[in-house]
Amino acid sequence: MLNYMYNRDVPDSIVIVDGNNARTFDSCYRLKNELRQNDVVLITQGFHMPRALYLCNKMGLDAWGLESDLRMYKDIVWFTVRDWMASLLAWWDIYNQRLPSYLQAEVINY
């Protein structure tokens, strides 16, 4: 998708590739609170889009989505079920005003 955008002259200055976070919650938090973004277009798979938009919008971003599905996934049932479960966790995280995992203190037991 990145090559697709560059081949259509989308400027580097408006593209943020977030490959550092393990969770969508963390990515949305980082966009709002560290990168100080307000308006974003999310590019992701269709089965993942509702959760990504929910999280970003709940965190105060004006988020729009563009699905990047170029083919059917052979494991679409697994991805859909997994994303449904992750959506429950996303709701729970927002409800509890959780911090992203990279800001949580590590507990060390001696």
Q: What is the pTM of this model?
A: 0.79
- Residues in Cβ contact with 55 at an 8 Å cutoff, skipping those fewer than 6 apart: 24, 25, 28, 90, 93, 94
User: If residue 82 lies in a helix (H) or strand (E), which one and from where to where?
Assistant: helix 76-95
Q: What is the pLDDT along the chain (110 residues), one digit of tens a residue?
A: 778 788 888 888 888 887 776 789 999 999 999 999 999 999 988 889 999 999 999 999 999 999 988 777 788 888 889 999 999 999 999 999 988 887 765 545 55
- Residues in Cβ contact with 51 at an 8 Å cutoff, skipping those fewer than 6 apart: 24, 83, 86, 87, 90
